[in-house]
Amino acid sequence: MSSSPASGGRQPPESPVLLIRGGRVIDPASGTDEVRDLWIRDGHLVDPPGGTADDTLNAAGLVVCPGFVEPHAIAPTAGVDLRFARQALAGGYTTVAAFGTARRARDFGGACPRLLRIAPLTVSGTRRLAELGDAAEVGAVAFGDGPEPHGDAELLRRGLLYAAMLDRPVFDLPRDAALSEGGVAAAGQVAAEQGLFGVPAAAERIAVHRGIELARATGGRLHFTALSDGGAAITVEAFREESLQQPPQVSAAIVTAHLLCDERSLRGFDPAGRVDPPFRSDADRQVLVELALNQGVEGPTITALTAGHRPDPGLLDPVDLLVAPPGFEAFETAFAAALTALGVGSLSALIERFTTGPAAILGQPEPALAVGAPADLALFDPDVEGVCDPATLAVPVARTPLAGRTLRGRVTHTILGGRVVFERGGFPAPPTR
């Protein structure tokens, strides 16, 4: 029997309300760009309730936007751990899609971004497709083999056909396996100076042309996870301009560090400069910068900007360039790298590449700041500048190619499900149960 005030029964306590006051709210989904307040209750955005808020976050001078969506990180082999989760949250990411093991390694008692799984396209070491249907049934949002390129065109063709039946995209690192085998740098002047085996631009261009033709032939959706070559990026732009299909058959992402760094990062045999795909010439970098926020007739040329986050046990210890695993732990510096390279003139377009763009690739609901939407938010200071020191990040890293660079912009708060899970200076303790 229900109780009432008249019968002396107790009313359930109202849920606490969080007020985000005075921030510049930018929501690409609605086109909003204005200074206003946001109210949060029960993990969702709500209309202003009567009375006062239980807690207030002063966002004056900050940009408030939907939480960032990472379209394709590489998770630790054993599963998502506290380090990975905290790095993502410190970077403003509230949703992370990961290759392979998109699950917690264990209950580590801290906040964790929403995790999505990218299932393998093939059975490792074979010419067989994986059980894509089974993977889709248990929640896989896409198929791909992570940092490994698809060397077999026929296998990629069949994968695109099967994935299309399941309404899932195929993710591909565009790189011809034979042309890139053994490469640790981009073929060019710096590789020649250092005596390093270089990966030619043709390795990426051939893979992009092949992928586009296979997508066209099969009707499947293909996503290039990381473009590094200017010519390859221009090819994607041309295809997207001529294609009228919605959603687009072919999409592409750029790792944000590639908007700032070029092949000179490898001078001095610095292992921090070894990334995959490799940093290329400054001319290539300038093309990527030009196209990163380009808006074509049928949509953006580059759908998403990615951190390119790649944890590896070897990254925690000093290693020689030739044996260093490629990649670096990039979540925390990803947005600042993009903002530094692209500037603050098109903040809405930049935020779109971190939110609605990657969500569309993954087939997820459009992140938005509408009433009733989940309160997954990122807050950042677009004007603060500082020298990147890997040792003083919220989660220190051993190295990054951005070390020593002056970066603009810094994520100050991350809100997940209505709760502040990161604020500059630390990670709040989870609520007691």
Tokens at residue 213, please?
């033709």
> Could you report the per-residue pLDDT of 198-249, keeping only the tens digit for each?
999 999 999 999 999 999 999 999 999 999 999 999 999 999 888 766 667 9
> Could you report the per-residue pLDDT of 42-86, keeping only the tens digit for each?
999 999 988 888 999 999 999 999 999 999 999 888 888 889 999
Helices 282-292 and 331-342 pack at an angle, to 10 degrees, of: 90
**Per-residue model confidence (pLDDT) at position 110:** 76
> Which residue, among 227, 360, 228, 357, has the nearest Cα to 300 in the 3D structure?
357
Mind listing the domains of the chain with CATH numbers? 66-366 (3.20.20.140)
**Per-residue model confidence (pLDDT) at position 2:** 41
> Could you report the per-residue pLDDT of 104-148, keeping only the tens digit for each?
767 777 789 999 999 999 998 788 999 999 999 999 999 999 888
DSSP 113-151: -EEEEEE-SB-TTSSSB--HHHHHHTT--EEE-TTS---
Lowest mean pLDDT among 71-75, 233-237, 296-300, 415-419: 296-300
- The whole-angstrom separation of Cα 172 and Cα 155 is 12
